[in-house]
């Protein structure tokens, strides 16, 4: 996503909102692998963490 930084003097510059990516050990097809996953997917339960 994109947005704007707005200073106290109301100077406007462009900025970006990056996803919060984490390296997580997950179960995929019965195997444990490390994946880069966003925290929103982890919270929503879309990723099964390896125990």
11-39: per-residue pLDDT in tens? Answer: 999 999 999 999 999 999 999 999 999 99
Label residue 51 by pLDDT band (50, 70, 90): confident
Burial 15-34 (b: 16+ CB within 10 A, else e): eeeeeeeeebebeeeeeeee
Q: Report d(CA 40, CA 38) in Å as an integer.
A: 5
What pLDDT score was predicted for residue 48? 92
Average pLDDT over residues 36-48: 95
The whole-model pTM stands at 0.67
């Amino acid at each position: 996503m994109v947005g704007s930084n707005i200073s106290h003097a109301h100077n406007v510059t462009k900025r970006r909102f990056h996803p919060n990516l984490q390296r997580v050990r997950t179960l995929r097809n019965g195997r444990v692998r490390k994946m880069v996953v966003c925290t929103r997917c982890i919270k929503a339960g879309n990723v099964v963490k390896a125990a």
